[in-house]
Amino acid sequence: MRTADGIRALVRETFASASGGFRPCAFFDDRLDCIRVIARDCSVLEIRLNPNLTVLQDNYYPQFGGKQYVGFTVKGARHFCNEHGLSMSAPINVSDLLDAILKAFPDVAVELFVNAIARPLVQEENIERVDVSGASGNIPAASLA
């Protein structure tokens, strides 16, 4: 029988070689058929702008002084990419994805979100591409805390 301290030591030893903290990322979730762009690992409120676009808002941004919006999700990614000429056989530039979102949803709220929030967010966090080919459906290991 192991002690609590022994179990803690074993867990620390097992995960000691983990890849480190969270890094901003963009990835394709194959199982949910969506593209996720996440700039910060935090508790979020999902705000749906339309049936395909969801904005991620930090639940605690006023308390901790962080940015209010920390990412977004594009649902129905396979169909969206097909309809807008974004090949899923190679990584997609996030700026091309944002351009396609603007063309697909000519709405004031979407335009405001893309130009005032999403573009600055991906530029500041240096999120350049989303790998949609060969996706496993999981968050990249390098992005996990």
Residue 143 DSSP symbol:
G
Round to whole Å and give the CA distance between 142 and 32: 20
Task: Domain ranges for the chain, please list them.
Answer: 23-134
Residue carrying structure tokens 């702008």: 49
Phi, psi of 122 (to 5 degrees): -70, -30
What is the average per-residue pLDDT within 50-64?
89
Phi, psi of 8 (to 5 degrees): -60, -45
Of the listed ranges 21-25, 28-32, 114-118, the least confidently predicted one is 21-25
The average confidence (pLDDT) of the chain is 85
Q: Is the pLDDT of residue 7 over 70?
A: yes
Round to whole Å and give the CA distance between 96 and 69: 20
Q: Is the pLDDT of residue 98 over 70?
A: yes
- The pLDDT, as a whole number, for residue 17 is 62
pTM of the predicted structure, to 2 decimals: 0.77
- The pLDDT, as a whole number, for residue 127 is 95
For residue 47 the two structure tokens come to: 């705000």
Instruction: Give the angle 30-33-34 at the CA atoms, nearest 5°.
Output: 105
